Amino acid sequence: MPVEAPTFVQNVKKNINNTMKLDTILETEYTELQKAITDGKHEYHCFYIATINNEIPKLRTVVLRALNKDENTLSFHTDLRSNKIKEIQLNKNVSALFYDKKRRIQIRMQGIAKLDQNSNRLKKIWSFMRPESKLCYMGPFAPGERLDQFQPNLPNHNAQSITSQSNKKGYENFCRITIYLQNLDWLQLEHSGHKRIHFSFDKDSKSIWIAS
C-alpha cells in the first residue's frame, strides 16, 4: 500500500500545480534573457559557456548578445583566434549556464553551436559596434597565446584612432556564435521545495516536471 505524503507536502504540490504553468515559466525566462541583452547589470547579461577539448570540459564567461525565442537560439561574440573556436569546430555540442541570484533561478542549456563569420549580418553588427568594443578584436595576440611577460592584448592606438586597416583586421577576427538549443533545464531554489522543469526543443517539443 503506497504511503500518503504529509498534508503540507500535498498542499505545496497542489499550489504549485495550480499556479505555475510550464509554458509561462519559459516565456518569463525568455523575457528576462531579452532584457539582459541591453542591460549590463542584469543577472543574465553574462553567462557561462562550456565546450569540450580532448574530452575535458572547458568553461568561460561570455556576454549574451542575441536571443531568438521562436527559433530557440541565443548568440554571443568571440575572437576567431580563440581556443573555443577550434573546440566547437571539433565538437559542436555545448552547454550554457545562467543564474539569477535575486530570483534564485538557474537555467542550464544544451545545444549545437554554429559559427557566423564574414556574413552580411555580421558586417552590419560590426558596423554598429562601439569603437571601444572593436579594440578587443584588434590585439596582436590570439586569446590564450603564451607570453614571456604580461602585455596588454590591445592595439597600439586608442578607440578614437581606429584606421580602416585596423578596422579590417579587427573584423577579420570577429565572430558570432549561435547556439541552437536542444533542451533547457529550469531550477528555482525554494525552502518549501526546489522546483525543476525540463524543456526539450526537438520536433516533439515538450516540458515536464523533474525531481530537483
Residue range 138-178, pLDDT digits in tens: 999 999 999 999 999 999 999 999 999 999 999 999 999 99
Query: If we measure between CA atoms, which residue out of 14, 7, 6, 26 comes closest to residue 188?
Result: 26
The model carries a pTM of 0.88
CATH fourth-level superfamily of 22-142+158-209:
Electron Transport, Fmn-binding Protein; Chain A (2.30.110.10)
Can you read off the three cell numbers belonging to residue 198?
525540463
Residue of higher predicted confidence among 144 and 118: 144
Strands 174-188 and 206-209: unpaired
Reference 15, options 198, 195, 185, 197; nearest CA is: 195
Q: How far apart, in whole angstroms, are the C-alpha atoms of residue 1 and residue 5?
A: 13
CA dihedral (136, 141, 146, 152) positive or negative: negative
pLDDT in tens, 42-81: 999 999 999 999 999 999 999 999 999 999 999 999 999 9
Rounded Cα distance, 154 and 164, in Å: 16
